[in-house]
Amino acid sequence: MGDQLSDSISSLKDCDKDKDVILMCEVWDEATYVKHHKKKIAFIFSAMRHFAKMLKQKGYKVEYVKLDAPSNSGSLKGEAKRMLKKHSLKNLIVTHPSEYRVVKDIRSLKNKSSVSVEIREDDRFLCTPKEFADWAGNRKQLRMEYFYREMRKKHDILMTGKKPIGGKWNYDSENRKIPKKGLSVPSPYTGKTDSITKEVIALVSKRFGKHFGDLKPFYFAVTRDGALKVLDKFIKQRLKKFGDYQDAMLQDEPWMYHSHISFYLNCGLLLPLECVKAVEKAYRAKKAPLNAVEGFIRQIIGWREYVRGIYWLKMPSYSKQNFFNAKRQLPDFYWTADTKMNCLHQCISETKQNAYAHHIQRLMVLGNFALLAGVNPKYVNEWFLVVYADAYEWVELPNVSGMILFADGGYLASKPYAAGGSYINKMSDYCKKCDYKVTEKSGDEACPFNYLYWHFLDSNRKKLIGNNRIGMMYKTFDRMGKDRQRIIRKDSKAFLSSIT
């Protein structure tokens, strides 16, 4: 698969170079089941072609089907059938696909033909779906923090015996520094565009020209060597300040101090444990502080493994969750960036350019607005899956439906991550160049986040009043008085009616 670009993957473990055939294919179905960002398609296709080239150089027999090959059937299932017939093969071996719909397709081959289909565990991950299900047990709510601690112990990461290094499991409270003027953010990695990538870019431009996003400039690493350079660059140049500023946002600084390795982790060019060990090594060599190292490691062995566990535990019903019964369409400006709200304009514009936004932009700006505006989770999930080059359903769906939209009613997160304009103003400089005024609470000039936040709580009172993490906010709302509450409802109705 296009997200299984690891030569140590389980499906290759006992591959016989003389007899076995490796199938890799670019298919229309996978590129268009949602209209993926042009840069995302180019990245995955180029990485696939480079990986196939590497396998051939190592002596493997590879059948690589390009998108525009005349014989291409257009689907993974169709290409598997065609190759089985072409080579007179009876056995199909695949590492467990990362998405539910693909697993269904692979299993249908087994059910509707005489082909023997073996689906192997994806051992790149550090927790199997069964292990996660056993941990989840009969809990009504799951909390990542407790899962994360178990993963630290299991893999002996940042541990001193049975205790965490530094005496604490979590240093998140130290990782919310407000961005200052004059921060010197290092430039991100920029890969060279070789002949393979140029060919892919031309293909994507021709075949997917109407998809969202900018195709150029293209800067992704598309080989394992390149991905390792991205990781090394992060550790040397960004890791020291990653913890301090991981929640910070600055205008015209889309990359900040983040690692930018999610692209490569999620497609297989990097492995999670090797990234964790490299960062832990930097800490032990006193090249990075504990708050930064722990925060990075928690994202990989904690959050990343946790959302995958929830995905396989709760699919397919999880994709239908809509706790607030949200019905609004996604506003057009999520595709055009044509909005007077500067924070949204910045994050959408950068997403269009880079097929990337860091997690606070996704959660507290783009996601926060969708939550407050009552956008149907179906449309928000599709948008996030389309626009980000690191997005596959297993990681995107729990993050959006669970973390961002609280659509699962609190199974993943303990409270909705809703916030007014003051949070964005605190953690960014976006508000300084906005047409709206973050200090205004009502009226035409007020930041829409300010009244939409209270409107969201007001509209969903019956469902949220019992949540002890936000109960105090209802007391604040009730103390505002009827006139103030009426203005909030009026401003919110007028603004929401103005967006399409």
CATH number where 81 lies: 3.40.50.620
Say if 384 falls within a structural domain: yes
- Does one domain contain both 353 and 491? yes
- Does one domain contain both 286 and 419? no
- Does one domain contain both 39 and 171? no
Say if 224 falls within a structural domain: no
- DSSP code of 4? -
Say if 96 falls within a structural domain: yes
- Does one domain contain both 115 and 135? no
* pLDDT on residue 500: 77
Token representation of residue 337: 């960036």
* pLDDT on residue 438: 97
The amino acid at 108: S
* pLDDT on residue 353: 98
- Does one domain contain both 105 and 14? yes
* pLDDT on residue 200: 98
Say if 320 falls within a structural domain: no
- Does one domain contain both 140 and 79? no
d(CA 407, CA 298): 24
**CATH code assigned at 309:** 1.25.40.80
- DSSP code of 173? G
- Does one domain contain both 281 and 143? yes
- Does one domain contain both 80 and 175? no
Task: Name which of 403, 394, 384 is nearest 323 in CA terms.
Answer: 403
For the chain, what percentages of helix, strand and coil (3-state, to nearest 5) are there? 55, 5, 40
* pTM greater than 0.85: yes
E strand or H helix at 25: strand 22-25
From 76, 95, 120, give the residue that closes a domain. 120
Say if 328 falls within a structural domain: no
Please list, in sequence order, all residues whose beta carbon lies within 8 angstroms of the beta carbon of residue 385, skipping any fewer than 6 positions away.
Answer: 34, 36, 391, 392, 393, 396
**CATH code assigned at 375:** 1.10.579.10
From 91, 120, 149, give the residue that closes a domain. 120
Containing domain of residue 55, as a range? 10-120
> Mean pLDDT in runs of 10 for the chain (500 residues)?
96 94 96 97 98 97 97 94 91 95 89 84 96 92 93 96 94 87 89 95 97 96 98 97 94 95 98 98 97 97 97 96 98 98 98 97 98 98 98 97 96 94 96 97 97 98 93 94 96 94
- Does one domain contain both 339 and 444? yes
Task: Name which of 336, 348, 171, 196 is nearest 247 in CA terms.
Answer: 171
How would you classify the pairing of strands 91-95 and 159-160? unpaired
Say if 193 falls within a structural domain: no
From 71, 92, 120, give the residue that closes a domain. 120
- Does one domain contain both 115 and 59? yes
d(CA 181, CA 131): 46
Say if 61 falls within a structural domain: yes
Say if 368 falls within a structural domain: yes
- Does one domain contain both 305 and 433? no
Q: Domain tally for the chain?
A: 3
- Does one domain contain both 24 and 106? yes
